[in-house]
Chain A
Amino acid sequence: MKFLKFGVLGIVFGIVMAKSEAISWFRIQEMFRFQAFHMYGIIGTAVILGVIGVALIKKYKIRDYHGNPIQFNPKEKSVSRYLIGGSIFGLGWALSGACPGPMVVNIGYGFLSMAIVFFFALVGTYLYGVLKTKLPH
């Protein structure tokens, strides 16, 4: 039962991703070609509200439902890992038209070939795990 709330949030996430068409390869192409505001509007609205909300959480030291302070862990400082890793991610995002969340939403929506994309995303994650110590970070 303690996981039920995460399932509900996942369902809302899946519905929003599908109904906003953020799971569409066409929408991702339109975004990377700067030919519509739609995707920028979705991400921009989420980030602007996110910035305001996170600032309020920090200012008023809001606690989570366990009573623990909500903490934000700073990500480790680096440029290369974010730029190189991010660029590889971007190449795949534009090609497949889906980042990891939308991949599984697509499968639920009925685009079963997205399961191939998701499987190979697992393979890519595995390869990173194998090569991690040899890569610049």
Chain B
Amino acid sequence: MIEIITQTWSWWFSGALIAGIMFFLLYFGQSFGFSSNLRTICAASGLGKTVKFFDFNWRSQIWNLVFLVGAIAGGFIAKQYLSTDTPVQISQATIADLGELGFAAPTSLQPEELFSLESAFSLKGFLILALGGLMVGFGSRYAGGCTSGHAISGLSDLQMPSLIAVIGFFAGGLIMTFLIFPLIF
């Protein structure tokens, strides 16, 4: 029984729980969209005084900030109590492809080459993390949502804008993976 919890959760169980989270949020009168929190944090920091986009009643979004804090706690609980720290079991083909780019086979959930503190505070490592975050933040607001808002909530409601956004997510991801990765790694 314990093994079922500590090993990687199956895709169908995980997907079903995510759908469940979306339905609970709808039942509680809200909707599932995580990247709105980025705008809310900007607004709560007082940026609405100078930039109109952040001038809104951010207090109506406190529920989502609480969800964010819960997500941090959930990550902590998963690591401390529900994990055996086995390396992520990705396919051999991915290990081989990433090996050619200079990435060692996984020893945990994340590559040391990008997320060790040593790498994060090297110039190149820092720029990669900063640029990655910058594009996720800029792009999610430009597109009006991220994976939760568009790929899960929007597609569940069969919204064409969300399908276009998800096509964009993949266009960008494929360009980065196949065209830009060979140049920077």
Contacts and interface: CB of A to CB of B under 8 A. Distances in A.
Contacts of B51: 126, 129-130
A71 to B, nearest CB: 9
Dominant SS among interface residues on chain A: helix
Nearest to A126: B42
A64 to B, nearest CB: 4
A35 B91 contact: yes
B74 A25 contact: no
Interface in A58-79: 64-66, 68, 70, 72, 74-79
B145 to A, nearest CB: 8
Contacts of A28: 173
Interface residues of A, number: 111
Contacts of A33: 93-94, 97, 177
A115 to B, nearest CB: 9
Interface string A8-52: 111111111111111111111111110111111111111101110
Interface string B87-131: 010110110011000000010011100111101100000101111
A77 B128 CA distance: 33
Interface centre among A14, A68, A106, A135 (most CB of B within 10 A): A14
Contact of A105 (B16, B74, B93): B74
Contacts of B54: 126, 129
Interface string A74-87: 11111101111111
Contacts of B150: 82, 86
B168 A90 contact: yes
A70 B144 CA distance: 21
Given A88-B142, A93-B169, A95-B135, A10 B11 contact: no
Interface string B144-169: 11111011111111111110111111
A63 B54 CA distance: 31
A130 B42 CA distance: 12
Interface string B54-98: 100000001110111111111111110011000010110110011
Contacts of A90: 139, 168-176
B71 A13 contact: yes
Contact of B120 (A35, A53, A113): A113
A99 B140 contact: yes
A117 B70 contact: no
B94 A36 contact: yes
A125 B71 contact: no
12 contacts: A10-B67, A21-B88, A32-B177, A46-B16, A50-B156, A64-B29, A84-B142, A88-B172, A108-B73, A124-B138, A125-B140, A125-B141
